[in-house]
């Protein structure tokens, strides 16, 4: 299973049951996909500032 988080969305590749399980897992930490994307975008911007 692969997960790609971009500033405009999320791409998940894998079997349907794997994606469902990962979504359940991430739902505990991020109630909305928007929250997940925003947190990943913030991490990316912080990494770029450190360089």
Instruction: Report pLDDT for 20.
Output: 95
Model confidence at 49: pLDDT above 70: no
Confidence of residue 9 (pLDDT cuts 50, 70, 90): confident
pLDDT per residue over 16-48, tens digit each?
999 999 999 988 999 988 888 888 776 554 444
- The verdict on pTM exceeding 0.75 is no
Q: Residue 39: left if φ>0, alpha if ψ -120 to 50, beta else—which one?
A: alpha
Contact status, residue 39 vs residue 28, Cβ threshold 8 Å: no
* Average pLDDT over every residue of 5-10: 82
User: In which domain, by residue range, is 37 found?
Assistant: 2-50
Q: How many domains does the chain have?
A: 1
């Amino acid at each position: 299973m692969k997960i790609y988080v971009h500033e405009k969305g999320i791409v998940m590749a894998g079997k349907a049951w794997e994606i469902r399980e990962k979504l359940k897992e991430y739902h505990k930490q991020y109630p909305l996909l928007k929250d997940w994307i925003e947190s990943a975008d913030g991490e990316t911007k912080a990494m770029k500032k450190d360089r």
